[in-house]
A and B are shown apart, each in its own frame.
Chain A
Amino acid sequence: QVQLVESGGSVVQPGRSLRLSCAASGLTFSNTILHWVRQAPGKGLEWVAGISTDGKNEHYPDSVKGRLTISRDNAKNTLYLQMSGLTPDDTAMYYCARGSYSSGRCDVFDIWGQGTMVTVSS
C-alpha cells in the first residue's frame, strides 16, 4: 500500500536549521506531486510547501518563503524540507502528503504520512 514516512524532527534552538525527510513507498514516486503541511500544537493545518513531479516547480506561502525549501530525490523516492532560521513559531508536526485530484494549478492531499515533530526552543 501507499506509505509516506517522515523523519528528521527534533528539538532545535532558535536560528538553527533542520532538514526533514519523507520516504515514499507503494507509488510511482517520480509521477507524484508532493507537499508539506504543518500543524502547531493545538492549532489548525497550514500548508507550507509543494513540489512538482520533476522538482522544477516549487510553491510556498509567503509566510515561509525564503526560509523553507522543498526538494526531492526521485532516485531515492524521498522528499525533503530544508528549514532555516527556525523560530518558536515553526514548532509543529510536519506532515508530507501526496497531491491529487488537481484543479490544474493546485491539489488536495489524499495520502498523508504520520508526521514528524519539530520543536524550536532554547
Chain B
Amino acid sequence: DIQMTQSPSTLSASVGDRVTITCRASQSISTWLAWYQQKSGKAPKLLIYKASTLQSGVPSRFSGSGSGTEFTLTISSLQPDDSAIYYCQKYDLYPVIFGLGTRLEI
C-alpha cells in the first residue's frame, strides 16, 4: 500500500503567522489528495480536496497545492480557531489512507 507521510508532526506558531504542512506519498497519486481539520473531541472536517479545491464554507486563508507525491496545506494568517490536528488523505485507489496527522498549536 501507498504510505502517506506528514511533516512536521507538531507545529507551534502564532496568530497571524503563515504555516505550511507537508504530505508526501510513497507513490504518485496525481492530485487525489484531501486535507482535514480535527478539533479536540470533534469529528474531522473536510478542508480541501483534489489537492487544491477548497471545500464550501472553508475560509480562504486555507489553501492546498501539489501533485504526484508532494503536497502542502498552507494557512496564510493563523487564527486562534485553527488550533487542531490536520490530516492528509489519499483517495486515488482503495485502500483509503490517512497521514498520521500534524498537531498545530497556536
Residues on A lying within 8 angstroms of B by beta carbon are: 35, 37, 44-47, 50, 59-62, 95, 100-103, 105-110, 112-115
Give B residues with C-beta under 8 Å from A.
Answer: 1, 32, 34, 36, 38, 43-46, 49-50, 53, 55, 87, 89, 91-101
Closest Cβ–Cβ distance, residue B24 to chain A (whole Å): 16
Query: For chains A and B in complex, what number of residue pairs have CB atoms within 8 angstroms?
Result: 72
Instruction: Contact check, B49 vs A101: say whether CB atoms are below 8 A apart.
Output: yes
Q: Determine the distance from Cα of A62 to Cα of B97 in the docked complex, in whole angstroms.
A: 12
Known: A112-B43, A114-B43. A106 touches B100 (CB 8 A): no
Q: Is the CB of B44 within 8 A of A108?
A: no
Interchain nearest-CB distance for B13 vs A (Å): 21
Contact, CB under 8 Å: A105 / B100: no
Bound-complex Cα distance A95 to B43 (A): 8
Known: A50-B94, A108-B34, A112-B44. 15 other contacts (CB 8 A): A44-B98, A44-B101, A45-B101, A47-B96, A59-B95, A62-B95, A103-B91, A106-B91, A106-B96, A107-B96, A109-B44, A110-B49, A110-B55, A113-B43, A114-B43
